[in-house]
């Protein structure tokens, strides 16, 4: 099943978790000793939607307090601000779709030149062939996350599915942060992770 089909068929839990995971992977390290995991409040609400709106507020406040001024963080913060306060499939699907595109777009900005798709929407159609190694890895993670959530939906293992999502997202965050850090060192500006 394609990534677009997986998004189209996902339930509220799958959409919320995949959206949060996409944003979480893209955040650079916080500056000035801020919260290293500002989106953490949202993870606990992805399973059932419990206190979803309140958790959104907490995550947004944490991100505001921990965020630097780089373009990547600003884009994540802006998209988090559009997250639906209702834990319902319709609005969450639109938001998760936008999170998927943003994550691919940020990975494309830091990727090695590798031809392939010209934009993030094309990447989702072309699959792993739609970009360089960073894009291919992000595409694979998004697909694996949605498949894992779909397999465990409504079962006793739904908590295991969410833990798998967190593990995949943490792995992806480490990879992208390493590339961001190398890019910043190459420009001699450690605090600047905006792709140029």
Q: Quote the domain boundaries for residue 161.
A: 3-187
If one counts the domains in the chain, the total is 1
* pTM, to two decimals: 0.86
User: Residue 192 domain-assigned?
Assistant: no
Instruction: Confirm whether 26 is domain-assigned.
Output: yes
CA 85 – CA 110 distance, rounded (Å): 31
In a domain, 195, yes or no: no
Residue 159 in domain: yes
Residues 177 and 94: their CA atoms lie apart, in Å, by 27
Q: Is 196 among the domain residues? A: no
Give the three-class secondary structure for 180.
helix
Give the pLDDT score at 186. Answer: 72
Phi/psi for 191 (5° steps) reads -85, -5
The segments of the chain whose pLDDT lies below 70 read 30-36, 65-69, 113-120, 122-123, 126-130, 154-158, 187-196
């Amino acid at each position: 099943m394609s990534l677009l089909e997986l998004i189209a068929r996902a339930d509220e839990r799958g959409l919320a978790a995949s959206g949060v995971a996409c944003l979480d992977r893209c955040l650079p390290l916080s500056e000035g000793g801020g919260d290293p995991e500002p989106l953490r409040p949202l993870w606990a609400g992805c399973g059932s939607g419990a206190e979803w709106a309140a958790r959104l507020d907490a995550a947004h406040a944490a991100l505001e307090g921990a965020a630097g001024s780089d373009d990547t963080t600003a884009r994540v913060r802006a998209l988090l601000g559009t997250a639906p306060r209702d834990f319902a499939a319709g609005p969450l699907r639109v938001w998760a779709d936008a999170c998927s595109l943003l994550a691919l777009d940020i990975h494309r900005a830091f990727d090695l030149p590798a031809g392939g798709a010209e934009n993030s929407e094309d990447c989702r159609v072309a699959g792993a062939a739609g970009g360089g190694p960073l894009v291919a890895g992000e595409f694979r993670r998004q697909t694996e996350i949605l498949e894992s959530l779909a397999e465990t939906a409504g079962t006793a293992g739904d908590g295991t599915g969410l833990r798998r999502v967190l593990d995949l997202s943490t792995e992806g965050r480490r990879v992208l942060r390493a590339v961001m850090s190398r890019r910043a060192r190459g420009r001699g500006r450690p605090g600047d992770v905006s792709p140029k």
